[in-house]
Amino acid sequence: MTTSAHPLAHFDVQEIRKDFPILNDGTRTRPLSYLDSAATSQKPAVVLNAMHDYYVHANANVHRGVHELGDAATSRFEHARHRVARFLNADPRGLIFVRNTTEALNLVATGIARQGGLMASDRVVLSVLEHHSNIVPWQLERSTHGFAIAAIPLHPDGTLDMDEARKLLAPPTKLLSITYQSNVLGTVTPLKELIAMAHEAGILVAVDGAQRVPHARVDMKDLNCDFFAMSGHKVYGPMGSGILWGKPELLSSMSPFLGGGSMIDTVTFERTTWAELPQKFEAGTPDVAAAVGLAAACDYIDSLTYEAIEAHEKDLMQHLLHMLDSLPYIDVYGPNDRERIVGAVSFNVRGVHAHDVGTICDRHGVAIRVGHHCCQPLMRHLGVPATARASVAAYVTHDDIDSLGEALADVASIFGQVITQHTSPASQMEHRHA
Amino acid sequence: MPEDDLYREIILEHASHPHHHGTVTSATHTTEGRNPVCGDEIALSWNEKDGKVSDIAFDGTGCSISQAAASILCDSVIGLPTSQALACARSFRAMLVEGTAPEDDMSDMAALQGVQAYPARVKCALLAWNLLAESLEAEEQSHD
């Protein structure tokens, strides 16, 4: 046997599935093809065990007291911070534990606006791809501070209109907040190009990285964004774990987000001063177990290697897109170049509402996401009320995708008459391969 | 092949060829609602004449269950005294929320009983019916 440098040489998906208790749940009475990892990933036993171990051996409140368990808890929490920072190649002083991406983006919007960084004469630029969590926090701050909000438009295939982006990344824009990878289309934005354009014009860049980190290595020093938000629960970590990373000098100049314990230096009724980073942004007792679990998830991903995960998921996406493209009643949304659809794909069964598709898939034990995916502006752009979305992860198999194919054939059989009425696609985004 | 418990033929027929689809001209009552989770939208318009629902229609978009339920609603309550229309809406809700057995006079409404086994879809079936019930209940109270 010759040795191989192929990234999948040591990648055995059946072995990986053994790491995930929920995929081997003997109490289930139905099969499970979990194609909804873009909503939340399943958790490997190493993550669950790390959290359990924390509660069994080290639980106490952090950054307080002088007892042994308090020291142990603080040590595990700070170790987790350094582990996640190393995972992202980021300065740990700028790494703040939050609950999720939504909270991270609210922190950025509030912290900048409250400190006077966004005023009535300023503009914040978003894109039509954004999740509501990267729209609503800015609208909330706009209601107080009166700045303008603009969105980079999309081409019909859902890719960013970079000419319009260039025009918007100019005065009076102060900040660009944009997704790294669309949770609906699976497309990756040209982030380094956008960041360079923004920085040239003195514009700060915040990144919604929630959908990118599950699929590819993200390096803060290489990316050079100013803020980066992500959720731990989409990268094999626990729910309630997330981070905001920010350049320390920017975070230092920002207003705190939540006030309370842990985030202060001195408190009097007249005036309070803030703790140093990162505690300034971590008011109240943190979810230490979630942080510990996220650190374990970083270890888990590194043990599989991103290289192998990417190769496996690329193979899965090819299989998935080939299956969808071969069904004449399916409309796939996104670029014609299917290689650009990463990790997740949105589609509709022509003439059938996505919720009906989701229910029939569920009856086959296939879990997909259906609805507007918290992206109503993008749905309006696509001209549909909702889509079905299938997403992949390290533990997904070809069999899972084949089960989706069988479920979609069942949709076609139940709604056959409706589908034949819709032979001409309503969507302007029809890009079927001939 | 046994009939599908959810996508019964009668429901697929109502969804693909809805009855009373559109708006009632010079309606005495209009109401609309949406389901923020899935984006189903229903607008109901009807005429009340001599204490009866003399005409009714619905407009909207959404899944087969929400559209079939609205179509069946219009069929079921047209011509009924408003008090009976409200009773009808309450029986329908009881069937889906509390699992009450459908009554003999429910005809096509009973076809939606299978939705009860799909908790995430109950709100789809109830959208139009809740709109009607809320509107009739508000009117009942204003007459008290």
| A338: its two tokens | 């299917």
Can you tell me the distance from the alpha carbon of B21 to that of A417, in angstroms, rounded to the nearest whole number? 19
Q: Which fold has domain A13-37+305-421?
A: Aspartate Aminotransferase, domain 1 (3.90.1150)
Give the residue, A427 or A8, on which the prediction is more confident: A8
Residues B108 and B101: their CA atoms lie apart, in Å, by 14
- Give me the pLDDT at residue A144, please: 96
Question: What ipTM goes with this model?
Answer: 0.90
User: With an 8 Å Cβ cutoff, is A426 touching chain B?
Assistant: no
Name the residue among A12, A48, A35 with its Cα closest to residue A388.
Answer: A35
In chain B, how many domains are there? 1
Overall average pLDDT of the A194-209 stretch: 98
CB A64: neighbour CB atoms within 10 A?
A: 13
pLDDT band, very low/low/confident/very high, at A423 (cuts 50, 70, 90): low
From A11's Cα to the closest Cα of chain B, the distance in A is 37
pLDDT, average across residues A247-272: 94
**Nearest CA-CA distance, residue A381 and chain B, Å:** 15
Taking 60 as the threshold, does the pLDDT of residue A100 lie above it?
Answer: yes
d(CA A29, CA A15): 22
Closest Cα in chain B to A354? B63
pLDDT, residue A7, reads: 76
Strands (E) in A257-404, as ranges, are: 264-267, 272-274, 330-333, 344-349, 366-367, 369-371, 387-391
**Pairing outcome for strands A204-208 and A227-231:** parallel
Interface contact flag, B65 A386, Cβ < 8 Å: no
11-40 in chain B: CB under 8 A from chain A: 12, 15-16, 37-40
Q: Give the residue-averaged pLDDT of A322-338.
A: 97
Tell me: pLDDT of A283 over 80. yes
DSSP H/E element including A147: none
Dihedral sign (CA A253, A294, A372, B130): negative
Select from A355, A360, A418 the Cβ nearest to the Cβ of B38.
Answer: A355
Average pLDDT over residues B115-133: 94
Least confident of A1-5, A329-333, A391-395, B109-113: A1-5
Residue of chain B with shortest Cα separation from A422: B16
Whether A119 has a pLDDT exceeding 90, the answer reads yes
Mean pLDDT over all residues of chain B?
A: 91
Bond prior to A377 in cis (omega within 30° of 0): no
Judged by CB atoms closer than 8 Å, whether chains meet at A415 and B65 is answered as no
Q: Would you state the pLDDT for residue B4?
A: 83
Alpha carbon A198 to chain centroid distance?
Answer: 22
| Size of the A and B interface in Cβ pairs below 8 Å | 47
Q: With an 8 Å Cβ cutoff, are B63 and A418 in contact?
A: no
A89 touches chain B (CB under 8 A): no
Name the residue in chain B with its Cα closest to that of A353.
Answer: B63
Q: Which chain B positions have a beta carbon within 8 Å of A418's beta carbon? A: 12, 15-16
- A355: closest CA of chain B, how far (Å): 6
Check pLDDT > 50 for residue A256: yes
The CATH classification number of A48-302 equals 3.40.640.10
Question: Whole-angstrom Cα distance, residue A191 to residue A123?
Answer: 19
CA distance A408 to chain B (A): 15
Q: Which long-range contacts (CB under 8 A, 24 or more apart) does A414-418 make?
A: A414/A360, A414/B4, A414/B7, A414/B12, A415/A349, A415/A351, A415/A352, A415/A356, A415/B7, A415/B12, A415/B64, A417/B12, A417/B16, A418/A351, A418/A352, A418/B12, A418/B15, A418/B16
The residue among B4, B9, B16, B63 with the most chain A CBs within 10 A of its CB, best to mutate, is B63
Q: Per this entry, what is the length of chain A?
A: 434
- pLDDT (0 to 100) of residue A433: 37
Please, what is the average pLDDT of chain A?
Answer: 94
Which residues of A are catalytically annotated? 374
pLDDT exceeds 80 at position A417: no
Cβ(B33)–Cβ(B131) under 8 Å?
yes
pLDDT at A117: 96
Of B39, B65, B118, the CB nearest to A385: B39
Q: Which residues contact A54 (CB under 8 A, 6 or more apart)?
A: A73, A76, A288, A289, A292
Report yes or no on B1 lying in a domain. no
Task: Using pLDDT thresholds of 50, 70 and 90, give the confidence band for residue A434.
Answer: very low
CB-nearest to A359 from B12, B16, B121 is: B121
User: Is the Cβ of B122 closer than 8 Å to some Cβ of chain A?
Assistant: no
In this predicted structure, what is the pLDDT of residue A428? 38
User: Domain segments of chain A: what residues?
Assistant: 13-37+305-421, 48-302
Structure confidence at residue B2 (pLDDT): 61
pLDDT of A432 above 60: no
Give tens-digit pLDDT for B1-22. 467 889 999 999 999 999 999 9
- How near does any CA of chain A get to the CA of B120, in Å? 9
Q: Is B121 on the interface with A (CB under 8 A)?
A: yes
Quick one: tokens of B82? 């408003």
Q: Which residues of A touch B62 (CB under 8 A)?
A: 353, 355, 385
Select from B4, B15, B38 the Cβ nearest to the Cβ of A386. Answer: B38
Q: Do B62 and A372 touch (CB under 8 A)?
A: no
Q: pLDDT at position A402, please?
A: 98
**What is the pLDDT confidence band of residue A5, given thresholds at 50, 70 and 90?**
low
pLDDT at A427: 39
- Residue bearing the bigger pLDDT, A125 or A261: A125
Does residue B112 sit at the A interface (CB-CB below 8 Å)?
A: no
Percent of chain A with pLDDT over 90: 91
> Average pLDDT for residues A335-362, to the nearest whole number?
97
Residue A229: strand, helix, or coil: strand
For position A267, what pLDDT does the model report? 93
For residue A159, pLDDT over 60 is answered with: yes
Alpha-helical regions (H) of chain B: 9-16, 64-77, 82-93, 119-143
Is A371 within 8 Å of A390 (Cβ atoms)?
A: no
Closest CA of chain B from A329, distance in Å:
17
Q: What is the structure's pLDDT at A429?
A: 41
Segment 305-364 of chain A within 8 Å of chain B by CB: 352-356, 359-360
* Best residue of A36, A132, A349, A356 to probe chain B, by most B CBs closer than 10 Å: A356
* C-alpha–C-alpha distance, residues A56 and A109, integer Å: 37
Query: Does the beta-carbon distance from A418 to B124 stay under 8 Å?
Result: no
Q: How many CB atoms lie within 10 A of CB A212?
A: 25
Domain assignment of residue B91, yes or no: yes
Domain span at residue B87? 9-143
Establish if B2 belongs to a structural domain. no
Contact residues, chain B, for A417 at CB < 8 Å: 12, 16
pLDDT of residue A1: 47
With left for phi above 0 and alpha for psi between -120 and 50, is residue A221 left, alpha or beta? Answer: alpha
Q: Is residue B56 part of a domain?
A: yes
Q: How far apart are CA A192 and CA A194, in angstroms?
A: 5
- Here the CATH number for the domain that contains residue B138 is 3.90.1010.10
pLDDT in tens, A367-412: 999 999 999 999 999 999 999 999 999 999 999 999 999 999 999 9
Tokens of A434: 């001939």
B13-42 residues labelled b (16+ CB within 10 A) or e (exposed): bbbbebbbeeebeebebebebbbeebbbbb
